[in-house]
Amino acid sequence: MTATWWSHALFYQTYPRSFMDSNGDGVGDLDGVTAKLDYLAALGVDAIWLNPVMVSPMADNGYDVADPRDVDPLFGGIEALDRLTDAAHRLRIKVTMDLVPNHTSSAHPWFQAALAASPGSDQRERYIFRDGTGPGGIHPPNNWVSIFGGPAWTRVVEADGNPGQWYLHLFDAEQPDLNWDNPEVFEDLEKTLRFWLERGIDGFRIDVAHGMAKPPGLPDMEVIRAEVLLADMDDDPRFNNDGVHEIHRQIRRLFDDYPDAVAIGEVWVYDNEQFSRYVRPDELHLGFNFRLLRADFDATDIRGAIENSLAAAEMVGATPTWTLANHDVDREPTRYGGGPVGLARARAMAQVMLALPGAVFVYNGEELGLPNVDLPDEALRDPVWERSGHTRRGRDASRVPIPWEGDAPPFGFSDNPDTWLPLPPEWATLTVDKQIADSESTLSFFRRAIELRRDRPEFDGLAVEWLDSPAGGLAFRLSSGLVCVLNAGRRAMALPDGELLLASGALVDGKLSPNTAAWLV
Ligand code: NOJ
C-alpha cells in the first residue's frame, strides 16, 4: 500500500440538498457548503465527497444526469462549484464528486435522440433497447426488476405512434442504462472526467461501479429481488459481471494522467475475492466495502466484518475503506436500536471505525448522532416510494437537512421554512450550535476522535492484531500501538492496561459500560 493523500483520509459525504441552503429556496446548494467549510475544517475532514451536482431533472436527486459537464442551477451552477473548490483547497480540503457512469437521465440529449430514432439505429445503441417478447412484443425482454421496484424495462412509443422497443433501467425509468459495449460511452465519460479533473476536482466516487457491464444475452434472474444493497447477490445477473473490470481499467488509465486524483467505487459486493478485483493495482484506488455498515451491533459480526474487509484489501495490496452510513441506508442510531442505546452504539461504532487502518467515510449528520426521521407520506420524495407502489418508504428518512442552530425548524438550514424535506422539531437539542457548546455531545466526541486519529502516531499502523476480550466484547491493537476496545455485550468490561485516550461514553467504576468503545495507548 503506497502512501497517498487518501490512504488514511477522512472523507466527509456532503449530501448537497441537505447540507446548507444559501439562497432560500429550501434546497441545499454549493454556496451553502462553502459557507460551512470552517465547520468541516474544525471537524478535521481531509476531503469532501459531493453527491451528484450535475445538471439533472432530479428524478433521483441528481443520480439522473442530463449534462455531465455542468452543474445544475439548483446547486448554484458551475461557478459555485469553482468557488467551493477554491475555498476548500485554501483550507487543504480536497473535493471529490459523484460520477454516474451506469446510466443517464432520460432527459439527456442522447436518450432523447434514441427515442426519436428507430430500432437498430446508432442512437439506440448507446442504451440497452430490445424488442419485447410474446405476441407483438408485449412482454419485457427479460424478468429483471428495478432496484426501486417494478420492472427494469419500459416500453417506448415508436415514430409511427405504436408501442415499440423496451429500454433497460436498473433504477428509475428516468435513468436509462448505458450500453458499455459501445465505445462512444467511454469516450464521453473520458471527456467528463478530464473536464472536471482539469478544473481542479480531486477525484470521484463512482456510482454503481459494479453495475456497468451487463451479461451477454441478458439472461433472466433466477431469484427475483428488487432491494439489493444489503443482500448477498452473487447470483444476480444485473451486477458484478466480469466485463466491468475492463471498464475500470480504462478509467484507471485515464486517472494515471492525474496521479493525485482518487477513484472510489461504490461496490455492493461482499465476497472478498470478488470485491478485491475492483481495487487491483490497475483498477480503482478505493472501493466502498460495506461489510461494517451491514454488521449488526454484535461483537462476532463486527469482528467478522473487519477481518473480511481487511482480508479483501490485503489480497491485492489495496487501502481498506470503512463506512457506517450514507444517503441510501438508515442512520446508525436508528439501525442500532434507536433512542439513547442506538446513539451510544453509533458513537461506539464510530470510534471502532476511526481506529481502523485506511480511509473512512463519514456521512453528514453522522457526527451529530442524527437518527432517521419518521416522515409523513406526503413528505416523501424518493422515487422508491412511488415505484414500489407505496410498499417501500425509500431513503428520505436519512436525508433530512442538517440542523445548524436555533430552536425551531429549519434550524438555520434555510431562510425558507418550506424545506425540501421537513426537519423535526425534536432536533432542537441536536443542532450544531448546541453540540459545539456541550463537551459531552456527539459532535464534540467526533471532533476529539478525528483529531486524535489525525495527530497521534499510534493511529498510523497498518496491521490489526486481535486481543483477548470477554464474551460480547472485542479488542484489537494497531501495529503502531493504539488499542481499541468495544463492549457490545451486556455487562461492564474491565479495560486493558494503558492510558485512556478517549471513550465514547462514561466509564463506570473505571469499567467500560455496554454499548461503549475506548481507545488506549
Ligand atoms: C447509488 C446511489 O448511492 C443511489 O442514491 C442512487 O439512487 C443509485 N446509485 C442510482 O444511481
pTM of the predicted model as reported, rounded to 2 decimal places = 0.97
Q: Cell 493504539, residue? A: 482
For ligand 1, say whether the CB of 60 is within 6 Å of any of its atoms: yes
Q: How far is the CA of 63 from the centre of ligand 1 (A)?
A: 6
pLDDT in tens, 315-360: 999 999 999 999 999 999 999 999 999 999 999 999 999 999 999 9
Tell me which residue of 364, 244, 353, 255 sits closest to 305, measured CA to CA: 353
* Nearest CA among 276, 314, 308 for reference residue 291: 308
Of 154, 206, 205, the closest CA to residue 175 belongs to 154
Judged against a pLDDT cut of 80, whether residue 22 lies above it is answered with yes
What is the model's pLDDT at position 233? 66
89 closest CA partner among 17, 40, 53, 51: 40
| pLDDT reading at 1 higher than 60 | no
- Give distance in angstroms: CA of 521 to centre of ligand 1: 40
State in Å: Cα 100 to ligand 1 middle. 9
Please enumerate in sequence order all residues whose Cβ is within 8 A of that of 483, keeping only pairs 6 or more positions apart, or say none.
Answer: 467, 475, 476, 477, 496, 498, 519, 520, 521
Neighbours of 235 (CB within 10 A): 9
Give the Cα-Cα-Cα angle 28, 30, 35 (nearest 5 degrees).
Answer: 90
Ligand 1 probe mutation, 61, 105, 328, 396, most atoms within 8 A of CB: 328
Look over the chain and give the mean of its residue pLDDT values, rounded to a whole number.
96
Return the CATH number of the domain spanning residue range 461-520: 2.60.40.1180
The pLDDT confidence band at residue 231, using thresholds 50, 70 and 90, is low
CA 336 – ligand 1 centroid, Å: 23
Catalytic residues: 207, 273
Nearest to 283 by CA among 258, 262, 307: 262
Report whether residue 328 contacts ligand 1, using a CB cutoff of 6 Å. Answer: yes
Other CB atoms within a 10 A radius of the CB of residue 223 amount to: 8
| Residue 12 phi, psi (nearest 5) | -115, 120
Q: Report the separation in Å between the CA atom of 324 and the middle of ligand 1, taken as the mean of its atom positions.
A: 17
Q: What is the spatial distance between Cα 360 and Cα 394, in angstroms, rounded to a whole number?
A: 25
Q: For residue 504, what is its C-alpha cell? A: 465514547
For residue 170, which atom of ligand 1 is closest to its CA?
A: 10
Pocket test for ligand 1, best of 171, 267, 269 (most atoms within 8 A of CB): 171
CATH topology of domain 10-102+183-437: TIM Barrel (3.20.20)
Is residue 367 lining ligand 1, measured as CB closer than 6 Å? no
Give residue 223's pLDDT band: very low, low, confident or very high (50, 70, 90). Answer: confident
- CATH 3.20.20.80 residue ranges for the chain: 10-102+183-437
Choose which residue among 51, 60, 100, 399 to substitute to test ligand 1 binding: the one with the highest number of ligand atoms within 8 A of its C-beta. Answer: 60
CA of 513 to the centre of ligand 1 (A): 38
Listed as own residue / partner, the contacts of 307-310 with beta carbons closer than 8 Å and 24 or more positions apart are 308/270, 308/272, 310/357, 310/464
CA distance linking residue 289 with residue 275, whole number of Å: 8
8 A C-beta contact, residue 289 and residue 278 = no
Has residue 29 got a pLDDT over 60? Answer: yes
pLDDT, residue 517, reads 98
CATH of segment(s) 109-168: 3.90.400.10
Tell me what pLDDT residue 500 has.
98
Q: pLDDT of 96-118, one tens digit each? A: 999 999 999 999 999 999 999 99
Check if the beta carbon of residue 488 is closer than 8 Å to that of residue 297.
yes
Answer whether 208 contacts ligand 1 (Cβ < 6 A).
yes
Q: Compute the distance between CA of residue 435 and CA of residue 438 in angstroms, rounded to an integer.
A: 5
Structure confidence at residue 222 as a pLDDT band (50, 70, 90):
confident
Rg (CA), the chain: 23
The set of residues, in sequence order, having a beta carbon less than 8 Å from that of 298 and lying 6+ positions away, is 488
Decide: residue 64, CB within 10 A, 0-12 exposed, 13-18 middle, 19+ buried: buried
Within 10 Å of residue 468's Cβ, how many Cβ atoms?
7
Cα separation of 458 and 463, whole Å? 12
Q: Which grid coordinates are listed for 135?
A: 405476441
Per-residue pLDDT reduced to its tens digit, 454-478: 999 999 999 999 999 999 999 999 9
Task: For residue 171, give the ligand 1 atom closest to its CA.
Answer: 10
Nearest CA to ligand 1 atom 4: 328
Residue 485: its pLDDT value, please? 98
Residue nearest to atom 6 of ligand 1 (CA): 63
Question: Could you identify the atom of ligand 1 that is nearest to the CA of residue 100?
Answer: 11
Assess contact for 141 and 218: CB atoms under 8 A: yes
Q: Do residues 346 and 363 make contact, with C-beta atoms less than 8 angstroms apart? A: no
Q: Compute the half-sphere exposure of residue 230: CA atoms within 13 Å on the CB side of its CA.
A: 12
How far is 429 from 425, CA to CA, in rounded Å?
9
CATH 2.60.40.1180 location in the chain: 461-520
Atom of ligand 1 nearest to the CA of 172: 10
How far is residue 157's CA from residue 163's CA, in Å, rounded to a whole number? 4
pLDDT digits (tens, 9 = 90+) for 369-411: 999 999 999 999 999 999 899 999 999 999 999 999 999 999 9
Q: Which residue owns the Cα nearest ligand 1 atom 3?
A: 328
Pocket flag, ligand 1, residue 64 (CB < 6 Å) = no
Angle at 280 between CA 277 and CA 284, to 5 degrees: 95
Determine contact, residues 290/228, Cβ cutoff 8 Å.
no
Give the H/E segment covering residue 353: helix 339-355
